[in-house]
Each structure stands twice: as C-alpha cells, then as structure tokens.
Chain A
C-alpha cells in the first residue's frame, strides 16, 4: 500500500509537470499586451492600488471605443499586473515574468525607486521598454536607453524642498531621518543634505539618522535628532513610515515643523497618520485641489469610480500609460515578432519630445527624463492636500 502511495505521488508529480509545461500555450494576435509591475502588497500597497485603478480606467476608456488604433487597425488592450511586493528582488522577478512569460510589449512601473532601479536594469538588459510613473531617483534611467520616466527627478526635488523649507520656516538648521534600505529615501536624503549645506553652510544639517525598512520604533534616532535642536526635520520616507515617525517625534516632545517629499502623497497617509500630520508640507507631483481642464476631468472620474480623490501615483500612471500607448500608436504598425515590436515601441517613445500630461507638461531631452514642475502642498485640517506653490525648472 505504501508503495502504491508513492507511485501515485510520482504520477501526480509527472502530471503536474506536464500541465505546467503546457500552460503557456495559446496566444492572441489581436491584442496588445502591456505589463504593470506594481506594489500591490507589501509596505506601500496603496501606491500599487492607485496605479492599477488608473490603468484600469484608461483601459476601459480605450477598449470601449473598440481598442487602440494602430496603423488603421484596432487592437484590444490587455493589461497584465504583476505584484512586486514592494521588494527589490520580487520586482526583478516580476519584470522577468512579464517579459518572458506574459510577452508584453512594454512595462509600466515599478513606482518606488527601490524597486524601479533593479527592475530597470533587468528591462534594459532584456531590451524591453520600461516607463516608471513615480520613481524620482536618477539611477533608474541613468545609462539605460530602454528606461523612461514620467516624473521629475530627485536632484530637482531636493532643492525644491530645501528652498521651500528655508523660506517657509525661516530655518537655518535641519535634520534628516531616512530609510537606508530604500534607494529613493537615501538618495533624496543625501541630495537634500548636500543642497542644504551648500545654501546654509557646512554642518547646518545637525542630524542625519537612518533606519531600516521594517523598523517601527524610531525613538533612539528621534531622541538624538531632537537633542540637536534642528529648525525642522526632513522625512523623505514612504507614507507608512512617516505616520509612525511624526507621531513618535510628537511623543518625544518635538513641536517643530516637518518637511516631506513626494512619497508622502498617498491617499492613505492621513488614514494612518491622523492629526499628527495636519499642517505639514511636502513636495509632490500635482495638487488635486484646484486642478483644471483634463486634470480635473480625470480627478472627478476617478473619484466617482473609486470613491477617493486620486493621489499623484494614479495621475502619473495615467500619464505614463498614455505615453506608452502613444508610442505604440506612433510606431505605425504592430509587429508579430515580440522583439521587433519592443524595439519599435522604444524608438517611438524616444522620439516623443513633448507630452501634455495631466500632471503637467513634459519636455523630453533624450535622456528618458522629462522636465517638469513640482508643487508644494500643505495638509489641511480636513486632511486634504492643499496647493501652496509651484516650482518650475529654469
């Protein structure tokens, strides 16, 4: 009987191998597949969710009109979503799956630089176009002709935050607390520090503390920072960490202001942070309140459909996906061979010089990075992000 059991187990093993081997068969030639490498679970699930919602809304728009028109023929759009769990190596895995198993023509995402930088290397090596909506770290597109982005970069964002803070708070000294395991957080913290010390002199960043991604207790770092008495604290961190840090700083008796960066901009920030975050400022990609034209239309439709005001990730994903679709369209035809199609898309995307996005006008200069303006918003007592000022590159 035991022998039989084991032989049955072997048969099951062989069968499952067979089923698995055959599962990849079957392709449709009238659809265009675009892949999405998103943070659907993990530390920042709201970010991935916002991207997915925006993408779904766009797909319905286009498919309801019969599909995307390329070279006179209409193709249905198929969006494939892979979860990168907000982890760097899962992002690489997800990219490999989208490229090899799902055979997509281009990839949108990951959003956070921590995932986007390694995934970008993978896409670049595999020669597949990647457009990241939200990643602001320069390394994502540096020396990678196949990777593009739809947002501004941290070397631009750092000075925006520094200038605003020194103007708004009249600050002379600053302190920074950042996530050392996150490329975005660390990169922006260093850029900010360099910028601030250039402006106000060496040694004016009186606290420069790091923490790990999974940390929940920041009392040691915050104690050191508060003891150094900075005029404000800069926190270039993801929204789930920000909520804890601000709260603990208040618990330790800190009463000064904070300055944030674009990773604060999620719709879930106020749910997690509550009244501790009211009145704080952060730099971001767009301000929902007071928007006009196509931006307002997008915001209203998103709000009606998904019951919350879209954050910057959703708006940037809308723009990034439309960039990809426009590239597919301007390529003129859809190749059967996936490698050739991917090359066509990439070349067409590189040829786009100017793009009117709902997050602002984008001018591409050939590096894959657009020239865009940033906005600084303040969190109102109702928990909304209110526009404070715009900063554009010269």
Chain B
C-alpha cells in the first residue's frame, strides 16, 4: 500500500512540469530514480510523525467527537519530558541527580517513562478541562474552545517557565548511516521511526478491534447514550482513550526529539494542525485513516519540495488535501454521520 502511494506521489511529480510565469523554477526535467528512493525514505520517516500524532486526534475524536486541539502541544510536552528525563539520567542537566547511566540503557528507561508521563498529562487535561464541561452537557463547541486555549496555555507556559532558549536533545543512540548504494543512505534512527509508527498502528488496531475495551470505544462512537445503559463505565473508557492517544503522542515526541534534536516551545503547534488535517483527510474516527492520512501528507510535502521550490510546499499540501476533502467530504476511510432531525 505504501509503495502504491509512493509511486503515485513520485511519478506524477516527475511527469508534471508546470509552466508558472516569469519565475525560474529550478526544475530538473527528470528526477533520477536514486533520488526518488531517497525521497521516498525521507517521506516515510517524516510521515510517521504525522501518523503518530494523527492517531491521537482520531482516537479522541472517534470516542468523544471532540477535536482535541491541545494534542499537538501534548506532543511538545512529551518531547520536553523526554529531554528532562534523558539529561537527568545521563547526568548532564535536568535534576542533576548525578547519575551517569549508559545512553542505551537511559533510552530504554526514557521511552516508557515519557509515554507514561505524557499520558498522565493528557488525562489531567481531560479531568480538569473536558470532564466538567461534559458533565454539564455543554455544547461541543465550548469544549473545542477549551481545547484550543489549553494548547495555548501549554505552549506559552513552557515558554514562560523554561525561557526562550532552544534545548538540545542529547544523542542517545550511536548513529549508523547505511549506504544502500547509489547515493541513497538511511540512518538507523529513520528506520526505527518508521518501524515504530507501523508497530503502533498495529497495536492500536489490535486493541480497537480485538479487545473488549476497543469494542467499548467503538460502541461509544456509535451511540454515546446507550453505552452507560449497557453497564460500561463511560469515564473509564474515555480515560483509556486519552491514555492511548497521549502516550502515542509522547512516543512521537521522543522520536521527533531524537531525529530533530532542537526543541522549542512552539514545535507542536504547526505539526499538530497539519496532523489534524491529515487525520481528517484520512477519515477522522478511523485508525487506518490516521495512518494513511499521515503518510500521505508526508509524501505530499517531501514530494513537492523535491520537485518545486520548497516555498510551494504548504500551498500544494493544503490544496491537495482540500481537493481530497471536496471529492470525499468525510475523508478516505470516513463514514458519513447521520444526524436525526
């Protein structure tokens, strides 16, 4: 499926030579095959981040019909938590407990601890901000606004508390650059990222389709009012949803911090919005949609930059997404919702 998507993105990009007026576009007439492979690898890696974050959006939306706009910032919080845990364990900063743990072991500890702490942040957000509104039966719009504001609080709180200086994530695994021949190279980190995204997808797919909790989550998305009548605790399921979604965001945070080791408070904002759009294009509420949407966005972005000047990236990416939405308004895997009159 990915190959098809990759070819679909790469080949039209090669054949398309638009004439756009007076500006020289520095287009190569033919993008060599080797470069295409490199671009495909880059796109897979970059799309993995979008996919991981889109998963969180989709899970929460599927259960609560709520666009959790703070999700991108939970991703940022995950990255910062990973940073603090890593530097504390490595003894080069943070809480300065004087530990000097071997980097590989430190990584093995950092990943689960980050995921748990990020999940805690997500659950706290749900308990303090969303649950009271849900109890009151407030209109969905108010919850969305609250989510938006919570995201702003997280971003600016980070900026205010930790200052404006960028943080540098320490190198925790030895980077191995594998040359696949012909100028295509890939690092072990990139492979880890791609594998992680696919593994998470399969795990979540398993949880949602094969376990009881997953069945409850799907049930809530069909009919929220019937579920408590069946003896299923609504609040618990919602908490589990947030745990899963935020935990995956935390994982995305730590992987992102390892790949692009410069952390800044606003790093989650733009990625969050784009991942959200990717989730919607894939069909929000469906996990497969999040993965497909995330990778598609990664391919479009890298593909556009490979052929056109990189400033056209956002323009093309959003235009393509809009066209997909126009053709199929509920997204690729989405199901149209019926509202009773």
Task: Decide whether A and B are members of one complex.
Answer: yes
A→B interface (CB under 8 Å): 40-43, 45-46, 49, 180, 208-212, 214-217, 219-221, 223-224, 226-227, 240, 243-244, 247, 250-253, 268, 271-272, 274
Q: Which of B63-71, B164-172, B208-216, B279-287 contacts A (4 or more CB under 8 A)?
A: B164-172
Cα A42 to Cα B314 in complex, Å, equals 21
Cα A244 to Cα B38 in complex, Å, equals 18
Contact yes or no, A253 B39, CB < 8 A? no
**Is B233 part of the contact surface with A, judged by Cβ < 8 Å?**
no
Contact yes or no, A210 B261, CB < 8 A? no
Cα A268 to Cα B264 in complex, Å, equals 14
Cα A145 to Cα B112 in complex, Å, equals 60
Most A Cβ at <10 Å: residue of B166, B183, B264: B166
Cα A221 to Cα B312 in complex, Å, equals 13
Chain A minimum-CB-distance residue to B31: A224
Write the nearest CB–CB distance from A314 to chain B, whole angstroms.
Answer: 15
Fill in one digit per residue for B130-165: 1 if any A CB lies within 8 Å of its CB, else 0: 000000000000000000000000000001000111
Q: Which of B96-104, B116-124, B302-310, B330-338 contacts A (4 or more CB under 8 A)?
A: B302-310
A-side contacts of B270, CB under 8 Å: 214
**Is B185 part of the contact surface with A, judged by Cβ < 8 Å?**
yes
Fill in one digit per residue for B307-321: 1 if any A CB lies within 8 Å of its CB, else 0: 001110110000000
Cα A219 to Cα B45 in complex, Å, equals 10
A-side contacts of B225, CB under 8 Å: none
Fill in one digit per residue for B170-213: 1 if any A CB lies within 8 Å of its CB, else 0: 01000101010001010101100000000000000000000000
Contact yes or no, B306 A220, CB < 8 A? yes
**Is B26 part of the contact surface with A, judged by Cβ < 8 Å?**
yes
**Is B110 part of the contact surface with A, judged by Cβ < 8 Å?**
no
**Is B262 part of the contact surface with A, judged by Cβ < 8 Å?**
yes
Q: In the complex, given contacts A217-B42, A227-B38, what are 10 additional A-B residue pairs having Cβ atoms less than 8 angstroms apart? A: A45-B163, A212-B313, A216-B260, A227-B34, A250-B177, A252-B38, A253-B179, A253-B183, A268-B166, A274-B171
Contact yes or no, A272 B185, CB < 8 A? no
Write the nearest CB–CB distance from A271 to chain B, whole angstroms.
Answer: 6
Chain B minimum-CB-distance residue to A211: B310
Chain B minimum-CB-distance residue to A253: B185
24 A-B Cβ contacts within 8 A?
A: A41-B159, A41-B164, A43-B264, A45-B163, A45-B165, A49-B165, A209-B309, A210-B310, A211-B310, A212-B310, A216-B262, A221-B305, A223-B38, A223-B42, A224-B306, A227-B35, A240-B166, A243-B168, A243-B262, A244-B262, A253-B179, A271-B168, A274-B168, A274-B171
Q: A40-B164, A46-B165, A253-B179 in contact; A272/B262 too (CB < 8 A)?
A: yes
Q: A210-B310, A226-B183 in contact; A253/B177 too (CB < 8 A)?
A: yes
Q: Which positions 43-59 of chain B face chain A at CB distance < 8 Å?
A: 45-46
Q: A224-B35, A227-B183 in contact; A217/B46 too (CB < 8 A)?
A: yes
Interface size of B in residues (CB-CB distance below 8 Å): 39
Cα A212 to Cα B183 in complex, Å, equals 26
Contact yes or no, B164 A45, CB < 8 A? yes
Partner of B311, one of A212, A220, A244: A212
Write the nearest CB–CB distance from A374 to chain B, whole angstroms.
Answer: 27
A-side contacts of B165, CB under 8 Å: 45-46, 49, 268
A-side contacts of B42, CB under 8 Å: 217, 219-220, 223
Cα A271 to Cα B261 in complex, Å, equals 11
Contact yes or no, B260 A244, CB < 8 A? yes
Q: Which positions 284-306 of chain B face chain A at CB distance < 8 Å?
A: 302, 305-306
B-side contacts of A41, CB under 8 Å: 159, 164
Contact yes or no, A252 B185, CB < 8 A? yes
Give 3 nearest A-B pairs by CB, closest first.
A45-B164, A220-B305, A253-B185
Chain B minimum-CB-distance residue to A177: B310
A-side contacts of B159, CB under 8 Å: 41
Q: A216-B267, A220-B42, A274-B171 in contact; A210/B311 too (CB < 8 A)?
A: yes
B-side contacts of A217, CB under 8 Å: 42, 46, 260
Q: A210-B310, A244-B260, A268-B165 in contact; A251/B38 too (CB < 8 A)?
A: no
A-side contacts of B21, CB under 8 Å: none
B-side contacts of A49, CB under 8 Å: 165
Q: A244-B262, A272-B262 in contact; A223/B310 too (CB < 8 A)?
A: no
A-side contacts of B310, CB under 8 Å: 180, 209-212, 215, 220-221
Cα A215 to Cα B309 in complex, Å, equals 14
Most B Cβ at <10 Å: residue of A216, A244, A271: A216
Chain B minimum-CB-distance residue to A209: B310
B-side contacts of A224, CB under 8 Å: 35, 306
**Is B231 part of the contact surface with A, judged by Cβ < 8 Å?**
no
Contact yes or no, A251 B177, CB < 8 A? yes
Cα A312 to Cα B267 in complex, Å, equals 28
Chain B minimum-CB-distance residue to A41: B164
Write the nearest CB–CB distance from A305 to chain B, whole angstroms.
Answer: 18
B-side contacts of A212, CB under 8 Å: 310-311, 313-314
B-side contacts of A43, CB under 8 Å: 264
Contact yes or no, A219 B183, CB < 8 A? no
